[in-house]
Amino acid sequence: MTLPVDDLSKDLDGLTDRLTTQVRTLTLGLLAFTAGILGGVFGFSSKEAHPALPHWAQVNLLLVAVCLFLVLLADLLQCVLSIRATEKTIQDAEEKIEQKEISDDATILYDYGLWEYRWATYLFWGKVWLLSLTTMWFAIITFLYCIRHLQ
């Protein structure tokens, strides 16, 4: 099966948009769940007795929450750097059009050498990997707590 480059580019755009949406959804959901557990354990919601959670689990859940905030920060920075890279590409194209180096309907490619583009790419894959590892870490913490608690 052969596809034109434009079709492949559109497919890639759709896949990265979908992956970013899934990253944000999972991050916020897991952060809300973790905050709910910690809020109940630390008694933020009321002055009544609250459930006890072992210290190791509390520390690990706090670290999971920190990692989830880092995922959201990486997502924000990736978006900002992507916008900057796009703006620079547009500015370069407009300058070339004014200087009559290219026509108005020319196809423009990103300058993959831009530091903004490179860092946006690193942050995109970094947030995906950090969320994957954090989710596995949360699952392991939950599993260990259940094993110790049910004995």
- Cα(93)–Cα(12) distance, integer angstroms: 23
pLDDT surpassing 80 at residue 87: yes
**pLDDT (tens digit, 9 = 90+) per residue, 23-45?**
999 999 999 999 888 887 776 65
Model confidence pLDDT, tens digit, residues 90-104 = 888 888 888 888 887
Give the chain's mean pLDDT: 86
- d(CA 121, CA 6) in angstroms, rounded, equals 20
Contact 86, 111 (CB under 8 A): no
Residue 42: partners with Cβ closer than 8 Å, 6 or more residues away = 50
Of 31, 118, 135, 28, nearest to 77 (Cα)? Answer: 118
- Report whether 109 contacts 151 (CB < 8 A): no
What single letter denotes the amino acid at residue 80? V
Strongest mean pLDDT among 7-11, 28-32, 50-54: 28-32
Q: Has residue 3 got a pLDDT over 60?
A: no
> Which residues have CB under 8 Å from 31's CB, separation 6+?
65, 68, 69, 72
Higher local confidence (pLDDT), 50 or 80: 80
The pTM of this model reads 0.81
What pLDDT score was predicted for residue 52?
77
Q: Identify the helix (H) or strand (E) that includes residue 100.
A: none
> Dihedral angle at the C-alpha atoms of 132, 134, 140, 143, nearest 10 degrees?
-100
- Asked if the model's pLDDT at residue 2 lies above 70, the reply is no
Say which residue the tokens 């049910």 belong to.
150
Write down the pLDDT at residue 46: 62
C-alpha distances (whole Å) from 149 to each of 50, 52, 142 are 16, 11, 10
Per-residue model confidence (pLDDT) at position 122 = 96
